[in-house]
């Protein structure tokens, strides 16, 4: 189970609170004191609408869409024709919506923003997951996320078949080069990490095989291999396997769809990719009102 799903189980109070809070902020930003343009439409006008996919995608964000329409107008009715995580094709209808025209028009943009963005992350994640199918590696996200959408994007990664790195700074220790420099050495910073105690996960980033050996000697159980070429990754896997207590190895940096399978085949345990949350292009979706 992913870190997100552990802390925010589907349909739990914590999950619903997260969704509702994010939607409330988005609506406050977009609607503010009121939707001026929607007032051009008769107040009692009832309409039907559909949301349609314009390209192939993995759908993610249904709960956010439902929450947007519910917060705008609890009387709006939505019938979904696809499930969360479904692969859809261009021109496929995702849902049917019935309600006051003003309500649908006011909710449209926020609902689509969530659905397009989260589906984009889920879709990109699935591409990477499919690319390494049959290997022992797993695809993970990073903290390179859209501000205020961190947890929603972490959720979308799981919908796409990926796993979560730590959710945030409070959710584990990741020692990077600047931490090592400030502490003085790998052994010194690892001692501080172990001294912190508790159930905190501890991972350290290394940039070469010498640092990898230092980290192993210092007792590291999870090591991030930063920008290692595939040949060096294989060397790292070999070095790690000969250690009395092998660590979990994670590749990161410079990873694309064109090289991710080669990296997975080196034998690393995990591959973290910032692009699945940072370099996304919104999935092309549209809402159409039908007279």
The pLDDT value recorded for residue 93 is 98
Q: Is there a catalytic annotation at residue 284?
A: no
**Kindly report the CA angle at 65 between 64 and 69, in degrees rounded to 5?**
115
Q: Which two tokens stand for residue 269?
A: 């345990």
Can you give the pTM of this predicted structure? 0.94
Within the chain, which residues score under 50 in pLDDT? none
CB proximity list for 126: less than 8 A, separation 6 or greater? 58, 87, 160, 161
Exposed/middle/buried for residue 79 (C-beta within 10 Å: 0-12, 13-18, 19+): exposed
Tokens of 70: 């519910």
Catalytic residue among 226, 232, 235, 261: 226
96, 176, 232, 234: which one is catalytic? 176
pLDDT value at residue 200 = 80
Instruction: State the catalytic residue, choosing from 96, 143, 144, 150.
Output: 144
Is 96 catalytic? The answer is no
Nearest to 139 by CA among 125, 124, 118: 125
What are the distances in angstroms from CA 234 to CA 6, 188, 252? 32, 27, 14
Q: Is 109 designated active site?
A: yes
Active site residue: 70, 96, 109, 150, which one? Answer: 109
Q: Quick check: is 144 catalytic?
A: yes
Q: Give the pLDDT confidence score for residue 11 in this predicted structure.
A: 85
What is the distance, to the nearest Å, from the Cα of residue 56 to the centroid of all Cα atoms in its chain?
19
Q: Which pLDDT does position 1 carry in this prediction?
A: 64
């Amino acid at each position: 189970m992913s870190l997100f799903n552990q802390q925010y189980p589907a349909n739990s109070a914590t999950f619903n609170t997260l969704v509702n809070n994010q939607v409330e902020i988005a609506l406050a930003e977009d609607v503010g004191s009121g939707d001026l343009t929607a007032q051009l439409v008769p107040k009692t006008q009832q309409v039907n609408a559909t949301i349609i996919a314009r390209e192939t995608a993995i759908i993610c964000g249904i709960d956010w869409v439902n929450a947007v329409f519910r917060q705008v107008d609890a009387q709006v009715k939505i019938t979904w024709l696809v499930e969360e995580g479904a692969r859809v094709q261009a021109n496929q209808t995702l849902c049917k919506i019935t309600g006051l025209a003003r309500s649908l028009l006011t909710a449209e943009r926020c609902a689509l923003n969530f659905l397009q963005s989260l589906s984009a992350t889920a879709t990109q994640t699935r591409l990477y997951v499919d690319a390494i199918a049959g290997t022992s590696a797993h695809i993970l996200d990073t903290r390179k996320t859209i501000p205020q959408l961190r947890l929603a994007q972490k959720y979308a990664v799981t919908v796409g078949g990926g796993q979560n790195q730590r959710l945030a700074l409070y959710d584990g220790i990741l020692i990077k080069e600047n931490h090592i420099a400030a502490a003085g050495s790998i052994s010194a910073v690892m001692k501080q990490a172990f001294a912190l105690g508790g159930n905190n996960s501890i991972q350290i980033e290394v940039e070469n095989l010498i640092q990898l050996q230092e980290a192993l000697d210092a007792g590291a159980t999870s090591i991030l291999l930063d920008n290692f070429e595939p040949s060096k990754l294989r060397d790292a896997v070999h070095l790690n396997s000969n250690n009395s207590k092998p660590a979990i190895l994670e590749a990161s940096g410079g990873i694309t769809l064109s090289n991710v399978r080669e990296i997975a085949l080196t034998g690393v345990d995990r591959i973290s990719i910032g692009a699945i949350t940072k370099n996304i292009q919104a999935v092309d979706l549209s809402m159409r009102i039908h007279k």
